[in-house]
């Protein structure tokens, strides 16, 4: 039986009528750029996250970029980000002329708080902490530590829409929370989209300026900005899908719990769900020292998996100029060799989950696999 990693059409099927109606409403409204559909979604998303402001933008990348710009990050500044994750967390930093400082990660794939503490110096202006794979970073410690030093904490919530710790949502622990709504995300649109949430009204105001060429009013440009607006049709789609976010996250958590109960924690390192609600499993990522063999074993049996992320950021060619080499950031390097993400999205059937677990079990029985790291 074939199991695909992610079948988005299956997720959209039950919502199709509502989605088409939402698109039709935008078409009929003639408000295609920053109209009421964008405003409505921003209001609903801010409310859902208990944040004062939400600014819709065209991608998660620009959510990070505009945040750095609006915070005045400039040449001479240092920004710390994790060495393991998606490239956008890091490549936005030199675009501001600032210096990237890579921090290592912990066994939950999130930024190592103690390493951040060691790396912070008088030039550090911001820390980008990603809630990698949906598991929230240690935001309680990070928020306190950065606030004490007058450093901005920017949460990259791209994988963790709807996650929370002690009832406080991801995105509201620091200066700002950046979200990607690309299709694979827990809240994903049908194309590109993103947003920033913040409780700082001046920051929200600057973000609104920057996303729209610095336009304060029609034909009046007070800052040099970007065209980074959230598309009206994508906003309308997101508004519909926001209605099923909690249900979808509950499905993801149930699928993860199935794996937790059916995969051998003696053979594989399984992800720790953490405190209740703090992991929303955008990805279910296990570790094995025989990762590549396991992946091809699964592929031969038509179980689709992904490797996020096979190369740590400090070893990517585009960051060679920073001078990092193998051995500099050991945990990130080890994780990159061992991680394997399994299908976990809502809509997976029990039969499919059983197929994945059974095939992995077969692998474990066929090979002697030492516990990952
Ligand atoms: C952690 C993280 N941050 C940022 C981004 C960038 O988002 P986008 O693709 O919407 O620009 C991604 C994209 O997958 C991501 O995974």
For residue 120, give the CATH number of its domain: 3.40.640.10
pLDDT of residue 370: 53
Distance 84 CA to ligand 1 centre (A): 13
Would you say residue 159 has pLDDT above 80? Answer: yes
Higher pLDDT, 371 or 60: 60
Would you say residue 372 has pLDDT above 60? Answer: no
| 196 and 284 co-located in one domain | no
When pLDDT is cut at 50, 70 and 90, the band that residue 254 belongs to is very high
Q: Establish whether residue 158 lines the binding site of ligand 1, counting it when its CB lies within 6 angstroms of any ligand atom.
A: yes
Mutate to test the pocket of ligand 1, among 60, 91, 306 (most ligand atoms within 8 A of CB): 60
Task: Say whether 184 sits in a helix, a strand or coil.
Answer: coil
pLDDT of residue 41: 98
Q: Which helix (H) or strand (E) holds 144?
A: helix 139-149
Cα–Cα distance for residue pair 342/308, rounded to 1 Å: 10
The answer to the question of residue 189 being in a domain is: yes
| 165 and 250 co-located in one domain | no
- Region 65-90: mean pLDDT is 98
Would you say residue 371 has pLDDT above 60? Answer: no
| 62 and 154 co-located in one domain | yes
Domain boundary among 214, 242, 270: 242
The answer to the question of residue 373 being in a domain is: no
| 347 and 300 co-located in one domain | yes
| 230 and 258 co-located in one domain | no
| 279 and 166 co-located in one domain | no
| 228 and 267 co-located in one domain | no
The answer to the question of residue 1 being in a domain is: no
- Region 143-160: mean pLDDT is 98
- Region 42-61: mean pLDDT is 98
| 202 and 256 co-located in one domain | no
| 314 and 345 co-located in one domain | yes
pLDDT of residue 147: 98
Distance 95 CA to ligand 1 centre (A): 16
The answer to the question of residue 120 being in a domain is: yes
For 312-362, how does the pLDDT look when each residue is reduced to its tens digit (9 = 90+)? 999 999 999 999 999 999 999 999 999 999 999 999 999 999 999 999 999
Q: What is the DSSP string of 39-83?
A: HHHHHHHHHHTT-SEEEEES-HHHHHHHHHHHTT--TT-EEEEES
| 48 and 75 co-located in one domain | yes
Cα–Cα distance for residue pair 268/290, rounded to 1 Å: 9
Q: Establish whether residue 130 lines the binding site of ligand 1, counting it when its CB lies within 6 angstroms of any ligand atom.
A: yes
The answer to the question of residue 44 being in a domain is: yes
Distance 128 CA to ligand 1 centre (A): 13
pLDDT of residue 228: 98
| 214 and 311 co-located in one domain | no
pLDDT of residue 357: 98
The answer to the question of residue 372 being in a domain is: no
The answer to the question of residue 3 being in a domain is: no
Distance 58 CA to ligand 1 centre (A): 11
Would you say residue 83 has pLDDT above 60? Answer: yes
Residue % of the chain over a pLDDT of 90: 98
Task: Say whether 135 sits in a helix, a strand or coil.
Answer: strand
Q: How many domains does the chain have?
A: 2
Would you say residue 212 has pLDDT above 60? Answer: yes
When pLDDT is cut at 50, 70 and 90, the band that residue 368 belongs to is low
Cα–Cα distance for residue pair 238/38, rounded to 1 Å: 9
pLDDT of residue 367: 86
pLDDT of residue 127: 98
Per DSSP (E only), the strands in the chain are 53-57, 78-82, 99-103, 124-130, 152-156, 164-165, 168-169, 176-180, 194-198, 215-217, 220-221, 284-287, 339-342
Q: What CATH number should be reported for the domain holding residue 289?
A: 3.90.1150.10
CA-proximal residue: ligand 1, atom 14 (nearest): 86
Q: Domain of 327?
A: 245-366
The answer to the question of residue 226 being in a domain is: yes
| 218 and 328 co-located in one domain | no
Domain boundary among 192, 218, 242: 242
Which atom of ligand 1 lies nearest, measured to the CA of 130? 1
Domain boundary among 242, 273, 288: 242
């Amino acid at each position: 039986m074939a199991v695909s990693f992610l079948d988005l059409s299956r997720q959209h099927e039950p919502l199709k009528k509502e989605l088409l109606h939402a698109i039709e409403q935008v078409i009929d409204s003639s408000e295609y750029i920053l109209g009421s559909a964008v405003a409505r979604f921003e209001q609903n998303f801010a409310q859902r996250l208990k944040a004062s402001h939400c600014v819709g933008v065209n991608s998660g990348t620009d959510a990070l970029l505009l945040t750095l710009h609006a915070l005045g990050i400039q040449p001479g500044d240092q920004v710390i980000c994790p060495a393991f994750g998606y490239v956008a967390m890091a490549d936005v930093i030199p675009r501001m002329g600032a210096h990237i400082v890579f921090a290592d990660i912990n066994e939950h794939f999130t930024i190592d708080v103690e390493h951040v503490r060691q790396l912070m110096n008088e030039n550090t202006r911001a820390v980008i902490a990603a809630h990698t794979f949906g598991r929230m970073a240690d935001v309680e410690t990070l928020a306190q530590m950065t606030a004490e030093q007058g450093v901005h904490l920017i949460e990259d919530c791209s994988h963790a829409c709807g996650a929370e710790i002690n009832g406080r949502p991801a995105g509201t622990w620091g200066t700002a929370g950046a979200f990607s709504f690309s299709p694979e995300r827990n809240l994903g649109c049908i194309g590109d989209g993103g947003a920033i949430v913040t409780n700082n009204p001046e920051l929200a105001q600057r973000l609104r300026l920057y996303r729209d060429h610095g336009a304060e009013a029609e034909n009046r440009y007070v800052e040099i900005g970007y065209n980074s607006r959230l598309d009206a049709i994508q906003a309308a789609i997101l508004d519909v899908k926001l209605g099923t976010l909690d249900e979808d996250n509950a499905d993801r958590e149930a699928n993860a719990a199935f794996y937790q109960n059916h995969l051998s924690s003696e053979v594989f390192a399984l992800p720790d769900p953490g405190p209740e609600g703090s992991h929303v499993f955008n990805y279910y990522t296990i570790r094995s020292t025989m990762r590549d063999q396991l992946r091809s074993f699964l592929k031969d049996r038509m179980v689709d998996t992904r490797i996020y992320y096979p190369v740590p950021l400090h070893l990517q060619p585009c960051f060679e100029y920073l001078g990092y080499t193998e051995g500099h950031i050991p945990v990130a390097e080890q994780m990159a060799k061992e991680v394997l993400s399994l299908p976990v999205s809502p809509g997976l059937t029990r039969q499919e989950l059983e197929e994945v677990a059974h095939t992995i079990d077969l692998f474990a029985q066929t090979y002697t696999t030492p516990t990952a790291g």
